[in-house]
Structure 1
Amino acid sequence: MPTPSTAQSLRTTPEGLLWEPSERWVRGRKGDVTVVDSRHPVLVWEPGVPVPLYAFPRAEVREDLLRPAKNPPVGTHTGSTVFYDLEVAGELLENAAWAFPADDLAGHIAFEWFQRTGRGLDHWYEEEEQIFVHPRDPHKRVDALPSSRHVVVEIGGRVVADTRRPVLLFETGLPTRYYLPREDVRLDLFRPSDRHTGCPYKGTAEYWSWHGEHGGSDVPPDVVWSYPEPLPAVGAIKGLLAFYDEVVDITVDGERLERPVTPFTRTPR
């Protein structure tokens, strides 16, 4: 999460929210119905939440589709006092939107994103590009750099990947991820998963789970992933395979890396 020292445009509310104006044209839809069409969105960071969300001027929201929430939640969002149900095409979506009580954000409405919380609006666009899960953080970098480092991956003491042509992905706030050519990975030791996830920085990922006969009994499912059609900014990782550093052993140029501690440490889901 950014802090006021990282960008002059960030403002802080008494409730502990950080926010800043965005110049992006943002639209949110439920099915084929456009609920938000905003050229004046603001990005909001809630305390303890590493990713931002958008809030929109009421004039750029279909308020005619909002209803006072019948069963408003408690403690779901920072200082939220007013929740709304969303009614679209005869379907009522409970607590799909809310208003922050902060004076700075008076007159703005925020929405849940279906791909993140399982409710709310299910299609979002910045300009003409569809985005997923949550807004992209303008204070975060994601760089995919081809490398000649020697990367070896082991599970239960067994080498499952060995390459000298990785692509290193550096993403603010996360450990370095090593994307490896398929030819250099023992993919025969893994089974395809039916899991897919969306990332606003990289695209849609597909997964594999460990199926080796020896070792790795404590490896959680979906330990390997790939982006078959990544977003253009990280096109260098297309089709390559990456492992969760948190649950496998990775050696880079002869140095065994410590397993990082992240939200994915216990289980990469």
Structure 2
Amino acid sequence: MANTNDLIKLAQKLASEGPHKAEVTPRRVRALLGGKYAFDTAKAYHVWEHPYYPQFYVPLSSFTSDAKLTKTSSVDGTNNRAHLARLSLGDKSTERVVVFNTDSLKDLVKIDFSQMDQWFEEDVPIHQHPKDPYKRIDILNSTRSIRVALDGVTLAETSSPLFLLETMLRPRYYLPPTSVKWEYLTKSNTETYCPYKGKANYYNANINGKEYKDVVWYYIYPIAESLPVAGHFCFYNEKVDIWVDGVQEKR
């Protein structure tokens, strides 16, 4: 049986306080489970459960005839305004589902994003979580010098970086691969997904006999809006020392 303690706490919070924000979106939203579409709607909601980014909540009426959505129990403390549920399709199912019946989330269903095989906005696959419609990314060429060091050893240096500026986040500096000192790097098995940039791969740094995990990432095939960073290397600001035009940033 799935652990739903976190969903229960979320449902209790949303039933009593409401979401941080909720807005209907004109995007067509679909998701696959077991190789079939579980729902298909142009009336999904962006729901900010917290201030940082939204999740998709979909109407009860959007589920396909192949999908079976069954309420399993009322969430304690919600006065029947939130129910745990099970979504089944073919030979796959998930119990990480909540059906809401509140003023702001009436007849909307939250499905844990990671439980579906694949989500789509229109015909474009999305990963990790939905994009925030109020967030943007700017990728700007620059001639400001960037130097990256760790434990007193310079790992990269360039005067032709790309500045990636993402709403509400600190700047990231993407450096040409020829500016990196490869002798200090070894490939990592780590992979992460960003809804704005795509799948990232990582390198570790090996300096003075010590391994520093996942200090730099790169995108081989970024999604269209972030295409300029393809093949460039971005050192994790919080894990290394970075100088911009000779001025050291705080980690």
Task: With the length of structure 1 as denominator, give the TM-score of the two structures.
Answer: 0.80
Q: For the Cα contact (< 8 Å) 1:179–1:240, is it kept in 2?
A: yes
Q: Secondary structure at the match of 2:104?
A: helix
Q: Secondary structure at the match of 1:103?
A: coil
**CA deviation string 1:168-215 (max 9, x = no partner):** 10111221000001110112211111111111100111111112235x
Task: Find the counterpart in structure 2 of residue 264 from structure 1.
Answer: none
| Pairwise CA distance, 1:14 | 6.4
The amino acid across from 1:237 in the alignment is: V
Q: For the Cα contact (< 8 Å) 1:19–1:42, is it kept in 2?
A: yes
Task: Find the counterpart in structure 1 of residue 223 from structure 2.
Answer: 231
Separation (CA, whole Å) in 2 of partners of 1:193 and 1:178: 20
Task: Find the counterpart in structure 1 of residue 93 from structure 2.
Answer: 92
Separation (CA, whole Å) in 1 of partners of 2:76 and 2:237: 36
Task: Find the counterpart in structure 1 of residue 39 from structure 2.
Answer: 36
Q: 1:246 aligns with which of 226, 232, 238?
A: 238
Q: Secondary structure at the match of 1:233?
A: helix
Q: For the Cα contact (< 8 Å) 2:101–2:108, is it kept in 1?
A: no
Task: Find the counterpart in structure 2 of residue 68 from structure 1.
Answer: 71
Q: Which runs of 5+ in 1 are unaligned?
A: 1-11, 115-119, 260-269
| Pairwise CA distance, 1:134 | 0.7
Task: Find the counterpart in structure 2 of residue 7 from structure 1.
Answer: none
Task: Find the counterpart in structure 2 of residue 202 from structure 1.
Answer: 197
| Pairwise CA distance, 1:16 | 3.6
| Pairwise CA distance, 1:13 | 8.8
Aligned length: 234
Structure ranking higher in strand proportion: 2
| Pairwise CA distance, 1:122 | 2.1
| Pairwise CA distance, 1:80 | 7.4
**Larger CA deviation: 144-153 vs 12-21:** 12-21
The amino acid across from 2:58 in the alignment is: F
Separation (CA, whole Å) in 2 of partners of 1:73 and 1:104: 17
Separation (CA, whole Å) in 1 of partners of 2:68 and 2:183: 51
Separation (CA, whole Å) in 1 of partners of 2:106 and 2:132: 22
Q: For the Cα contact (< 8 Å) 1:43–1:55, is it kept in 2?
A: yes
Q: Secondary structure at the match of 2:47?
A: strand
Structure 1 residue 176 corresponds to structure 2 residue 171 = yes
Q: For the Cα contact (< 8 Å) 1:113–1:122, is it kept in 2?
A: no
Q: For the Cα contact (< 8 Å) 1:146–1:236, is it kept in 2?
A: no
Instruction: Provide the aligned C-alpha RMSD in A.
Output: 2.4
Task: Find the counterpart in structure 2 of residue 154 from structure 1.
Answer: 149
Separation (CA, whole Å) in 2 of partners of 1:176 and 1:188: 26
Separation (CA, whole Å) in 2 of partners of 1:69 and 1:222: 41
Q: Secondary structure at the match of 2:132?
A: coil
Task: Find the counterpart in structure 2 of residue 134 from structure 1.
Answer: 129
Task: Find the counterpart in structure 2 of residue 51 from structure 1.
Answer: 53
Q: 2:158 aligns with which of 163, 181, 185?
A: 163
Q: Which runs of 5+ in 2 are unaligned?
A: 1-13
Task: Find the counterpart in structure 2 of residue 105 from structure 1.
Answer: 105
Q: Secondary structure at the match of 2:186?
A: strand
| Pairwise CA distance, 1:232 | 1.2
| Pairwise CA distance, 1:74 | 8.0
Taking every aligned residue pair, what percent have the same amino acid on both sides? 32
Task: Find the counterpart in structure 2 of residue 263 from structure 1.
Answer: none
Task: With the length of structure 2 as denominator, give the TM-score of the two structures.
Answer: 0.86
In structure 2, relative to structure 1, the CA distance for the partners of 1:194 and 1:14 (3 Å cut) is: same
| Pairwise CA distance, 1:164 | 0.6
In structure 2, relative to structure 1, the CA distance for the partners of 1:162 and 1:104 (3 Å cut) is: same
